[in-house]
Structure 1
Amino acid sequence: MPSPTRSIHVVAGVITDARGRILLNRRTDNRDMAGLWEFPGGKREPGESSEQALVRELREELGIEADVGNWIMDVPQRYPDKHLVLEVRHIRSWKGSPRGREGQAITWVAPEKLGRYSMPPADLPVVAALRHPDRYLITPAVGANAVDALQWQQQLQRAVDSGLQRIQLRPGQDHPEWAALVADAVKGQRRPVQWLLNRDIALARELGIGVHLGSEQLHTLAARPLPADQLVAASCHDLPALQAAQRLGCDFAVLGPVQATASHPGAVPMGWEAFAALRAQVSLPIYALGGLGVDDITTARRNGAQGIAAISGLWPA
C-alpha cells in the first residue's frame, strides 16, 4: 500500500539589494532538484509562525538577521513525493552580509533576468508575480449585442489610462473594422501595455503583439506559435488544457470559471479549492477567471494565482 503524500509548508523570502536585484540560492548536490535556483527559505516547523520560520532559515542559510515584511503569495505545488505550499514574503531589511553558509552558491539577479535561471516548479509563478501585472483585462466584444466601436475605443483608453498593463483584445461578431481597431489601439498607444489578441495568430504576428489562444487551439498546435518576444497565453478549463499550454511554452494561462459569470451563464464554477488543485499540477503562471474583480486578487494569490482576469470586473464603466 503506497505511503501517504507528505504535506510541507515552506516559507521563502524575496531579498532585494539597493540596486533592485533579487537574491537566489542554488540547491546543493545532496538535495532533490539539485542545481536549481530558488528564493531562499525553508520548511516551517511545528509550532513556528511563518515569520519565525523564515527568520530562522535565513539565519541558517545566509547568516543574516531578517525583518520579514509583506506577504506576496502562496503557491500550492504537487511533487511526486509531497504536496508543498510555498509561502512567499518580502524581506524589508536585514543585518549582516548574505553568504552561502550551507555550501550553496548565491547570486543577485536583476528582476528582468530571473527568467534565465532554472527553478523548481513552485518558484516559477513567484517570478511572474514579481515581474508582471496582477490584473489581466479582457475587453468586451465589439458589434452586435456589445459596445459600438467608438465606445469601445474610449473605454479601452480609460482602461489604459487607469494603469492596466496587460490587455486581451477580443473581437465581436466578425466586426468588419476589427483589424483596424486593433491596429489603432496598439500603434496609437504611448503608455506601456502588453497587448494580446484573442485567437488570431496571423494578425498578432503581423502587429508584433501577443496572442491569447482559445482552449480549442491548444490541441491543434505542435509548437509555440509566436517567438519569445511576443507573449502567448491560453484559456484553460481543466488539467489537460493546462498541460497542453505548458508543453507549448505559453507564458501564462487563464483558468476558470472560479465563480459564476454573466458572460458564460451555463458554465459550472469550479471554486477556489479546485482551482488550487489544478494550479498545483503545473508550473505555469495562472490568472483566475470568472466573476472576479480587484477585491479578489488577495484570495487569488492565496490559491497560487498570478492575479485575476476579467471583463466586467476590470472594464471601465
Structure 2
Amino acid sequence: MSAEKPLRSIHVVAGIITDARGRILLSRRTEGRDLAGRWEFPGGKREPGETPEEALIRELQEELGITPEVGAAFINVPQLYPDKRLRLDVRFVTGWQGNPRGHEGQALAWVAPDKLPRYDMPPADKPVVAALLQPDRYLVTPEPGPDAEGWLAALETALEQGIRRVQLRARTLAGPAWEELARKAVARCRQVGVDVLINGDIALAQALETGVHLRAAQLPALAERPLPAGLPVAASCHDVDELRQAQALGCDFALLGTLKTSASHPGRTPLGWEGFATLREAVSLPIYAIGGLSPDDLDQARQHGAQGVAAIRALWPVEATVT
C-alpha cells in the first residue's frame, strides 16, 4: 500500500484595501476556479523567491491594475482544503496608485465593513472578516466570591478599560444568588454595548436574553443551536472534534486552549502556537486562544490565525482579586 500523498502547501497574500468612505474592496472568484462565485480579499499566491510584500504588489498590479503601498500584517489564517493546505497572509494596504478594476474579468465590490458578513466567502477569508469586526479580547470573569459589589465594580472597570466581549462564569456560586448577580452584570454590559455570554447555563441565557458560552462537554448533547441568531453562541474547545462540533452547531466563535501553562488549568499539556494553528486550519470559525495569555500576545495570536486572546487574570483589573 502506497503512502498517502501529502497535500500541497500554498501561501496566499491578500490586501485590505479601504477607500475614503471606509469601504473595503472585495473581488469575486471567476468561473473555472475553485470556489467560483465567492467573494474574497484581493491578492494571490506567493511565487518562489518573492517576499509576501512583493507578491501582494505583483498580484494587485495584475489583478486590479494598481500599485499598492503595503502596510502592517493583520492576520495569518491557516486553512485546510480537500486538495491543499493554505495560509492566507493578510496585509493592510495604506495607499495605491491607479484605479482598481477587474483586469481578469472578476467583479469588484466596495463594501461597508458591517455588510461584509453578508458576502459568501471562502473558509479562509471568514476569520479575516471576524477579525475586522469583532473584539480581539475576550474576558472570562473570575469567581465572584463573597464581595459581589466589588466583583461588579471590577467588571465595570474592565469595561472602562476597553473590554467589549465578556463571558460571565461562576464555578461555586449558583441558584438565585448567581442569577441576580448575572442579571446585574448583563445590565452593565448592555449599557456600554458589550457582548455578554453566560457560561454553560442555556436556560439562564434565555431568561436574560443574552448569549451562552457552551462547555466542551455540552457540545455532543446538542442537536441544534440553542439560541436564535440574534444572540451569540460560543464554545470552549480543546481538539479538532470539538471545534468541528462547534462549527456544525452554528456557534459564532470558539475558544481554544490551553496555549501555555495557566493557573486555571495547571495539569493540561499546552498546545503551543503551532499546535493551535494546526487545529485552527480545520474550521472557519473565529477562535480565541486561551491559557496563560495576555494582550501582549495579540500580535502572535493573529499570526497563527486567532481572533485574539481570552483570559481571566490578564484581562481582569489588577487591583481586583482573582479567585
- 1:233-272 CA deviation, whole Å, 9 max, x = no partner? 0000011100000001101000000111101112111111
The percent of aligned pairs where both chains have the same amino acid is 61
Matches within 5 A, 1:1-317: 1=2, 2-143=4-145, 148-175=147-174, 176-189=176-189, 190-317=191-318
* Residue pair 1:199, 1:214 contacting (<8 A) in 2 also: yes
CA distance in structure 1 between the aligned counterparts of 2:204 and 2:21, rounded to whole angstroms = 39
Gaps of 5+ in 1: none
How far apart, CA to CA, are the structure 2 residues paired with 1:153 and 1:60? 55
Amino acid at match of 2:152: Q
Q: Shift of the alpha carbon at 1:186?
A: 1.9
Structure 2, unaligned runs of 5 or more: 319-323
Displacement, 1:187?
1.8
What TM-score comes out, normalization by structure 1 length? 0.96
Find runs of 4+ consecutive structure 1 residues off by over 6 angstroms: none
Q: Is the 8 A contact 1:237 1:256 kept in 2?
A: yes
CA RMSD of aligned residues (A): 1.2
Letter in 1 for 2:166: I
Query: Following the alignment from structure 2 to structure 1, what is the Cα–Cα distance between the partners of residues 63 and 25?
Result: 12
Q: For each residue in 1:109-151, what CA deviation from the matched residue of structure 2 results, as whole angstroms up to 9, or x when unmatched?
A: 11111111111111111000000111000000123xxx63122
**What one-letter code is carried by the residue in structure 2 that aligns with 1:208?**
E
CA distance in structure 2 between the aligned counterparts of 1:178 and 1:160, rounded to whole angstroms: 20
Q: In 1, Cα distance between the equivalents of 2:73 and 2:285?
A: 20
Aligned length in residues = 314
Distance 2:21 2:34 in 1: 31
Contact kept? 2:156, 2:188, Cα under 8 Å? no
Alignment partners' CA distance in 2, 1:227 and 1:111? 23
Q: Read off the aligned partner of 2:30 and give its amino acid letter.
A: T
Q: Kindly state the Cα deviation for residue 213 of structure 1 after the two structures are TM-superposed.
A: 0.4
Instruction: Indicate conservation of the 8 Å contact 2:25/2:108, yes or no.
Output: yes
Distance in 1 (alpha carbons) for counterparts of 2:209 and 2:218: 20
Which amino acid in structure 2 is aligned with residue 164 of structure 1? Answer: I
- Equivalent residue letter for 1:233: A
